[in-house]
Amino acid sequence: MKLSRADRRLLNELQRDATRNQAELAHLAGMSRTSCWRRIRDFEDAGLIERQVALLNPRLAGFHIHVLLAVSMTEHTDENRQAFERHVADLDAVTECFTVAGDRDYVLHVVAEDMERYTEFLNSWILKHPAVRSASSTFVLRRVKYTTMLPIGNE
């Protein structure tokens, strides 16, 4: 998608705070309210803006454990991959899932209230899955940086 300078400014402002009214967004992006509204609809229709959400503070929501869980599959078949990916899609504790290259096949970001709940999740929902050979947990000590903003730029 070809983005103008005003488009980039608008997208950056939406990434910072999508609750702003259109007049404020239009002013910050340097466009009219009508153009701003139309561009936002265009971005939504094209799938560039997937959805607008509220970002919660995990600690205040009760999630004190963050884990990067590396998973190895028993066999690298389409059937195994699809079954595992469908399974993971239904697990609320998994906030992100990536297929990766290297010694492991997947890396999942998992949140849990405490170590007991994480252990239960790992043993009941990951290690018991028939497509999983093994898993390795890396516990997050402190989140140094977190952003949902893509580096759209202004040029």
The pTM of this model reads 0.89
For the chain, domain boundaries: 5-46, 65-139
Write the CATH number of the domain with boundaries 65-139: 3.30.70.920
Write the CATH number of the domain with boundaries 5-46: 1.10.10.10
pLDDT tens digits for 49-77? 999 999 999 999 999 999 999 999 999 99
Distance CA 43, CA 4 (A): 13
Q: For residue 140, give the nearest of 99, 101, 105, 110 by alpha carbon.
A: 110
Distance CA 47, CA 51 (A): 9
pLDDT tens digits for 90-128? 999 999 999 999 999 999 999 999 999 999 999 999 999
SS3 96: strand
Q: Starting at the earlier edge strand, list the strands of the sheet with 94-99.
A: 94-99, 106-112, 65-73, 132-139
